[in-house]
Amino acid sequence: MYDSIEFNSKETIKQEVLAGLGIALITAHTVHDAIAEGRIATIAMPGLPIVRQWFLVRALSAPVTAVSQKVHDFIVQNSDKFLPVMPAPRR
């Protein structure tokens, strides 16, 4: 029996947890629907959630075109809508 296993696919990890085969440290957006449906639950732990920073980048050698500026503006204006708000952990 394994003490831990590492998978390459977030969906595989989610399916293993849904099957009752253990617990996982996984990104919230991967399991948001399963949590909202009550099929799995989060565990309250010190240091969690881990909050990541996201960066919008471009090559310095690439010109800023009208289209790339519109994409930039859209992402900046809607950045709060890209990741789901997670339900509170169940105890």
Does residue 12 contact residue 6 with C-beta atoms inside 8 Å?
no
- Within-domain flag for 3: no
- Within-domain flag for 18: yes
Note the pLDDT tens digit of each residue in 49-75: 888 777 888 899 999 999 999 999 998
Label residue 1 by pLDDT band (50, 70, 90): low
- Within-domain flag for 86: no
Q: Output the pTM of the full model.
A: 0.61
Domain count, the chain: 1
Identity of residue 69: Q
- Within-domain flag for 5: no
- Within-domain flag for 17: yes
- Within-domain flag for 77: yes
- Within-domain flag for 22: yes
| Parent domain of 19 | 10-81
- Within-domain flag for 67: yes
**DSSP letter at 6?**
-
pLDDT at residue 41 greater than cutoff 70: yes
Label residue 19 by pLDDT band (50, 70, 90): very high
